[in-house]
Amino acid sequence: MSTDVLELALLRRLAAGFRRSPLQLNAHQESDAELVRLPGHHGVLALTTDGLAEEIETGLYDDPYRIGWMAVLVNASDLAAVGAEPIGILITETLPSGLSDDFLARLQAGIADACKACHLPVLGGDTNFAARLQLGGTAVGWISDGQAVTRRGAAPGDRLYASGPLGAGSAFAFMQLRARAGAPARVPPYQPQPRLREGRLVRHYASCAMDTSDGALATLDQLARINGVGFTMAEPEERWLHADAAAVAAAAKLPTWMLLAGPHGEFELIFTVPPGRESEFLAAAAAEAWAPVALGVATAALEIRVPRGAELVTLDTGRIRNLFTVSGSDPGRYLEELWQEDRRCATAPAGEVTS
């Protein structure tokens, strides 16, 4: 459908020599958390491991409380995407010598608060000492009836939803990196909330689900590849664009689709619901005082279509996923590449696949 994703090719290559487990339910890359049946049980374990390295190294996260919070949240988000009950988390800390007591205390407070918010008690972990700070975790969840939702299962016509408004991850990253570069910038707040409760509801109705840890467009691209469908975000952007993203787009004169493009996500869930189950799903969500955000629809055409001004344009989301790598992780060059994509999609005839 669109350009190959460099990262996926590397991950496939790294995993090529590894044996798979007969107990594992999901194929490679087809679930946010690994799903493993325990011998002789109906229940399924959900396991995920995720860490922060680039986010710290680039200065995107420089506040120790945020680093601690996010190390937990990124893992909780993967459990949410499969609809698991949280069991606990293991925390891995690589600490440079010479961290101040205050920095360390705020780091640990961020971890502790996120664990409380996510109902993920700290089961244990590993502490190392090295030149650079790194933080990661492994979260464990449990699905007692074994019925997880994965990235696979969407069909054309399924309704496309998000657990909350989109674009806050890119809005934060754009302003934070601008501020770090010394430019005047009002950095919006950024503290994604756990979507575990929403995920447990979603799994009973959704045909597929995935979190937006790498940004909304990367999620749509990945779900499209796995399911052999496209997505059209036909709903007006006022309904799904986060207020901070709208403000950053206006202030920096960016097309709003760029706020879905950045590799720093907002940690919402994106999922599809078969049309026959939509009203039942919305009623169940309303009963929990949750209003899912409608985005659009899954299509038979293998395209990702998003609003650009008054039009719907087709984006080469595979190419967009590669841009941060291709531009050597340089924010300025990355933005130039996005503008190039903007010109490309604006001039492409409607409905044409761009590569």
Judged by CB under 8 A, the residue of 2, 77, 138, 170 near a second copy is 138
Decide: is 327 part of the binding site for a second copy (CB under 8 A).
no
Query: 141 or 199, CB closer to a second copy?
Result: 141
What is the rounded distance in angstroms from the CA atom of residue 165 to the CA atom of residue 265? 12
Kindly state the smallest distance separating residue 219's Cβ from a second copy, in Å: 17
Judged by CB under 8 A, the residue of 19, 189, 310, 349 near a second copy is 19
Task: Candidates 50-58, 161-169, 265-273, 308-316: pick the segment binding a second copy (CB under 8 A).
Answer: 50-58
**Structural contact between residues 17 and 66, judged by C-beta atoms closer than 8 angstroms:** no
Query: 50 or 237, CB closer to a second copy?
Result: 50
Decide: is 17 part of the binding site for a second copy (CB under 8 A).
yes
What is the rounded distance in angstroms from the CA atom of residue 87 to the CA atom of residue 221? 30
Two structure tokens written together for 53: 């390295």
Helical axes 101-118 vs 64-82, angle rounded to 10°: 20
Decide: is 47 part of the binding site for a second copy (CB under 8 A).
yes
Two structure tokens written together for 115: 């664990």
Q: Measured on CA atoms in the order 202, 230, 321, 171, is the torsion positive or negative?
A: negative
Decide: is 6 part of the binding site for a second copy (CB under 8 A).
no
Query: 160 or 323, CB closer to a second copy?
Result: 323
Decide: is 100 part of the binding site for a second copy (CB under 8 A).
no
Note the residue count of the chain: 355
Kindly state the smallest distance separating residue 304's Cβ from a second copy, in Å: 24
Q: E strands of 163-242, at which residues?
A: 208-211, 230-232
Decide: is 12 part of the binding site for a second copy (CB under 8 A).
no
Judged by CB under 8 A, the residue of 3, 103, 106, 108 near a second copy is 108
The H or E element spanning position 92 is: strand 85-95
Sheet holding 134-143, edge to edge: 34-37, 44-52, 134-143, 85-95, 122-129
Q: E strands of 64-133, at which residues?
A: 85-95, 122-129
Decide: is 23 part of the binding site for a second copy (CB under 8 A).
yes
Task: Candidates 87-95, 225-233, 269-277, 281-289: pick the segment binding a second copy (CB under 8 A).
Answer: 87-95
Kindly state the smallest distance separating residue 203's Cβ from a second copy, in Å: 17
- Compute, in degrees rounded to 10, the torsion defined by CA atoms 190, 75, 60, 170: -60
Give, in order, the Cα–Cα distances in Å from 38 to each of 20, 28, 31, 41, 142.
15, 19, 18, 5, 11
Query: 116 or 239, CB closer to a second copy?
Result: 116
Decide: is 49 part of the binding site for a second copy (CB under 8 A).
yes
CA 204 to chain centre: 21
Sheet holding 208-211, edge to edge: 208-211, 269-273, 159-162, 293-299, 230-232, 304-308, 311-315
Strand duo 311-315 + 304-308: pairing: antiparallel
Decide: is 234 part of the binding site for a second copy (CB under 8 A).
no
Judged by CB under 8 A, the residue of 61, 93, 173, 249 near a second copy is 93
Decide: is 182 part of the binding site for a second copy (CB under 8 A).
no
Interface characters, 51-80, with a second copy (x: CB under 8 A): x-xx--x-----------------------
Query: 51 or 199, CB closer to a second copy?
Result: 51
What is the rounded distance in angstroms from the CA atom of residue 56 to the CA atom of residue 60? 6
Decide: is 121 part of the binding site for a second copy (CB under 8 A).
yes
Footprint on this chain of a second copy (rule: CB under 8 A): 10-11, 14-21, 23-24, 28, 34, 36, 38-41, 43, 45, 47-51, 53-54, 57, 85, 87-88, 90, 92-94, 104, 108-109, 111-112, 115-116, 121-132, 134, 136, 138, 140, 142, 144
